[in-house]
Chains A and B, each alone.
Chain A
Amino acid sequence: MNLPVLKAADFASDQDVRWCPGCGDYSILAQMKKILPDLGVPREKTVFVSGIGCSSRFPYYMNTYGMHSIHGRAPTFATGLKSTRPDLMVWVITGDGDALSIGGNHFIHCLRRNLDVNIVLFNNRIYGLTKGQYSPTSTEGQVTKSTPMGAIDHPLSPLSVALAAEATFVARSIDAHVQHLGKTLKAAAEHKGTSLVEVYQNCNVFNDGAMAYAQERKQRADNVIELEHGKPLIFGAERDKGIRLVGSHLEVVNTADVPADDLLIHDANDPNPSIQMMLARMRYPEMPEPIGVLRSVAGVSTYNDQINEQVTQAKAARGEGDLAKLFRSGDTWEVTA
Chain B
Amino acid sequence: MQDIMSSVSEWLLPILVGTILVFGYLRRVPIYSTFVDGAKGGFATAIKLIPHLVAMVVAVTVFSESGAMGILVQLLTPILQWLHVPAEVAPLGLLRPISGQGALAFMVNIFQTKGQGPDSYLGMLASTMQASSDTTLYILTVYFGSVGIRKFRYALKVGLLSDFISVLASVFAVSLLSGMIHV
A and B co-occur in one complex:
no
